[in-house]
Structure 1
Amino acid sequence: MAIYENREAFIPYRRIDIIELCLQDGCLNAVDIEKFKDFCQILAAYYHFRFHKTLEIIKDNYVPFNPSADVQSLNEPTFDQYDAMESKVVDSFHYILERANYIPLPELIVKQALNKKSLIDLKTQVDFEDFERFFCYYQGETTNTVLFKKLFFWQKEKIIETFERIVLLIKFKEVAYFRKKKIKIEELNFTPGKMYVYFYKNIPKLDIDLLFPNVVTSMTWKDRLLFGIPAIGAAIPLLLKALPNLLLLIAAILLVFNAKSLLISLGLVVEQYKSQNVMPILVAALSLAIALGGFAVQQYNNYKNKKIKFQKDVTDTLFFKNLANNTSVFQMLMDIAEEQECKEIILVYYHLLTSQIPLNPQQLDSRIESWMEKKVGIKINFDIHGPLNNLEEIRGKVLGNRKEVDNISEIPLLTYDRQGFCHVLSLDDAKTVIDYVWDNAFQYNGIAL
């Protein structure tokens, strides 16, 4: 069984497409084709039921941590219950992402990506100390070539690494932590103590920082210079032009406060300013206020326009690439995990059923990977152990005469012989076993088939 560093276990095709690919091989006759479809149908129903139980566990325990919850518990959980509920949500989160063939992204890798310059021309900062828990998973890593504008018409190509899908779970620390930091709770973009879950698509590695609720953005030094230098350049001629009016206003103020000595030290003629009537002084003050006020308004508008542009860039990154938030993330991931689990089992069962020679796990793994590459041209690192374990765990009774049900032992869908080769039940027996498991999922009447 080969191990590939740059391949993923994720199968990027629908379950119905995988079934159709199997049937296109021509290894099953018309009768077996219908039986195989029936097997896949009941298998999907069984796993839908299994994953639904996991979803119910999450729904029951996520309520006190959900920042957008529209329901609440009748009784507040105790501290012990609170911790237990949090652990159940986190454990379920890991479980469904592993079943969905998503890859964990270590916190160290995320921090390294944050230290690099973002695609959006912003300076960003994320305080990981705000997090009580933080987990990140991704699926699909691709590279794209992007053109960056450098100076005037000069453009530079840059290769950007992108995550096709990325999932974040962030549990913030409680209110006391932020109060200790002298932070106003009402000014935060998040609620302390809550658990935020995000699901995004096509996010460049350099833009991961924008996904965090506590990200702080500011202008880069380049933008500050581009904003500040023109402002200084425009301010100098304005001040020179307004200087006479400014001197007149200063002199009038000094005279009001009887500061003749200061006027003389500045080289101003006291009698000249005494002979001035009030109107020129008022005109000077008004024109100075208009000039400086207009300049201030212009610079403030420039700053606001720059800020709006930054906000638009961030919105384009987040809004149009957001797939789900909080509770809806768990629901979407549950569906993905269910599909992945079924597709893997179907592939394993089909290839063992149609193989002319016995196969051990390593041979079966290589066979499926080669088959997928031949059929659809993709290279995957098939996770053979998961579906083999699942097939072995599905146990039921192949019933001949229902009166003899108590004397019949449960048998698994998959077994191993002494040489380590894998064997699966026939289509008829496999359908019967899963049907038995399905019929006995609930036994409220106390009767087992």
Structure 2
Amino acid sequence: MTVHENREAFIPYNRTDIIKLCLQDGQLDQAETETFKEFCQILAAYYHFRFYHTLEIIKENYIPFNPNADIQPMTPPTFEQYDEMELKVVDAFKNIVERANYILLPQPLVQRALDTKSLIDLKTQVDFDEFDRFICYYQGDTNKKISIKKLFFWQEEKIIDIFERIVLLVKFKEADYFRNKKDKINELKFIPGKMYVYFYKNIPKLDIDLLFPNVATSMTWKDRLLFGIPAIGAAIPLILRALPNLLLLLAAILLVLNIPFFIESLDVEPDKVRNVMPVLVATLSLAIALGGFAFKQYTNYKNKKIKFQKDVTETLFFKNLANNASVFQMFIDLAEEEECKEIILVYYHLLTSPIPLNPQQLDARIETWMEKKLGTTINFDIQGPLNNLENIYGKVNTNDKTAPEIPLLTYDDQGCCHVLPLEDARRVIDYVWDNAFLYNGINLS
């Protein structure tokens, strides 16, 4: 099988469109068209049942890790059960995400994105040591042109790399870890020990860091200069105006400490130093001036921080597709769709091919057909649907109790793939669906 660079296995059309595309190909007559529709309908129902079983596993085991859970288990899990439940959720998550044709994003690539300046003018930091688990998958590695505001009315056009879809799972360490770090548990932006799952669309690669619930943000050096230089400029005339009061206060302190030599060097009138009232007035004036200045600068800083947080919120709010438990539900649907589309395409092309095809030839045929029909270039995942067809067993003649169960797909001695004729295939999948709850030997996860 040829692997094409920058191609992905994801099929960007729904199952109904793929079925219509097959029927519009003109390879099936009217009777076969109806049988093919029935085959696809029963196949979809069967896979809906299979993935429903996976969803139930996730729902049952995610309860202790769900930060938004509104129910609690009647009996809290033991440590061994807790670890086992976590593993079941993670394994099921990886399974459905990969079957939805998402691609694993290794942590070094994520770290590289974190080390690169974000599109939002923020300094960010993510502490990966706070995670027990970190898993990230993406779909659609592409780029687009955007306009970035520079000075005043000047805007710069820039091409950025984005992930069209990105899903992130993080499991935080338990509360004891954060207590040992002297962190205040009630001030954390997350709940220790919980598992957070996020699903976003159209996220620039340089903004991945903003997806993490423990991201720490601060000003860049440029913002610090833009904030600090005006503050210094405003402080200089204030200090000059407050200098006489400051010297008077300093002289009063030196008088109390009995250091008359330094008092003379400050060039302050001795009578004012020994008079309590001018000293109190000077102290109060200095406190008001410096306090007012400090409050103003603190307010400016808080406003700047609020603006940063607003930028981050706006960036993520409109790109968020789902959080936590709802992510699993969405990926169950996505995985179910992808699985069915792949099986339908493989079965249809083996059924209509004039010559036997091995997996490599079948893979190339489907990719070429998709590009010709839809202008879509994909790197079709051939082995998955072949395995699925090979593992679906059923009876063609359901009236004969002694008749053996046969698979939808077999291989000949030359390694070519063969599927059952359409009517037989419909009967087999119908038999499998009718006996779905009796299939103890089939892995429904």
Normalising by the residue count of structure 1, what TM-score does the alignment of the two structures yield? 0.92
1:263-274 equivalence runs, <5 A: 263-271=263-271
Q: Structure 1, unaligned stretches of length 5 or more?
A: 445-449
What amino acid maps onto 2:264 in structure 1? I
Structure 1 residue 409: deviation in Å? 0.5
CA distance in 2, matches of 1:126, 1:47: 39
- Residue of structure 2 in register with 1:437 after alignment: 432
Deviation digits for residues 3-59 of structure 1, max 9, x if unmatched?
A: 112110001111111111111112122222111111111100000000000111111
SS of the equivalent of 1:223 reads helix
> Of residues 394, 417, 424 in structure 1, which corresponds to 2:419?
424
Report the more deviating stretch, 311-320 or 237-246: 237-246
Report the more deviating stretch, 180-189 or 213-222: 180-189
SS of the equivalent of 1:418 reads coil
CA distance in 2, matches of 1:439, 1:146: 53
Structure 1 residue 442: deviation in Å? 2.5
The answer to whether the 8 Å contact 2:124/2:216 transfers is yes
SS of the equivalent of 2:318 reads helix
- Residue of structure 1 in register with 2:317 after alignment: 319
SS of the equivalent of 1:163 reads strand
The answer to whether the 8 Å contact 1:249/1:281 transfers is yes
Structure 1 residue 151: deviation in Å? 4.9
- Residue of structure 1 in register with 2:119 after alignment: 119
The answer to whether the 8 Å contact 2:248/2:268 transfers is no
1:76-225 equivalence runs, <5 A: 76-151=76-151, 155-225=155-225
The answer to whether the 8 Å contact 1:260/1:270 transfers is no
The answer to whether the 8 Å contact 2:122/2:218 transfers is yes
SS of the equivalent of 1:442 reads helix
Deviation digits for residues 159-213 of structure 1, max 9, x if unmatched?
A: 3110011111111112222222222222211111111111111111111111111
Q: Structure 2, unaligned stretches of length 5 or more?
A: 440-445
Q: How many residues align?
A: 439
Structure 1 residue 297: deviation in Å? 2.4
What amino acid maps onto 1:397 in structure 2? K
> Of residues 316, 329, 332 in structure 1, which corresponds to 2:330?
332
SS of the equivalent of 1:132 reads strand
The answer to whether the 8 Å contact 2:251/2:266 transfers is no
After superposition, the Cα gap between the structure-2 partners of 1:352 and 1:302, relative to the gap in structure 1 and judged at 3 Å, is same
Structure 1 residue 107: deviation in Å? 0.9
Structure 1 residue 146: deviation in Å? 3.0
Deviation digits for residues 78-101 of structure 1, max 9, x if unmatched?
A: 122111111111111111111100
The answer to whether the 8 Å contact 2:273/2:279 transfers is no
1:392-431 equivalence runs, <5 A: 392-399=390-397, 402=399, 404-405=400-401, 407-431=402-426
Structure 1 residue 311: deviation in Å? 0.2
Structure 1 residue 260: deviation in Å? 5.4
What amino acid maps onto 1:139 in structure 2? Q
- Residue of structure 1 in register with 2:293 after alignment: 295
- Residue of structure 2 in register with 1:48 after alignment: 48
- Residue of structure 2 in register with 1:447 after alignment: none
What amino acid maps onto 1:84 in structure 2? E
The answer to whether the 8 Å contact 1:165/1:201 transfers is yes
What amino acid maps onto 2:70 in structure 1? D
CA distance in 2, matches of 1:434, 1:272: 103
Structure 1 residue 70: deviation in Å? 1.1
RMSD: 2.1
- Residue of structure 1 in register with 2:70 after alignment: 70
SS of the equivalent of 2:246 reads helix
CA distance in 1, matches of 2:80, 2:255: 75
- Residue of structure 1 in register with 2:442 after alignment: none
Normalising by the residue count of structure 2, what TM-score does the alignment of the two structures yield? 0.93
The answer to whether the 8 Å contact 1:360/1:422 transfers is yes
CA distance in 1, matches of 2:157, 2:437: 61
Structure 1 residue 272: deviation in Å? 5.2
- Residue of structure 2 in register with 1:348 after alignment: 346
1:250-269 equivalence runs, <5 A: 250-251=250-251, 262-269=262-269
Q: Percent identity?
A: 73
After superposition, the Cα gap between the structure-2 partners of 1:133 and 1:272, relative to the gap in structure 1 and judged at 3 Å, is closer
SS of the equivalent of 1:420 reads coil
- Residue of structure 2 in register with 1:17 after alignment: 17
- Residue of structure 1 in register with 2:28 after alignment: 28
The answer to whether the 8 Å contact 2:247/2:266 transfers is no
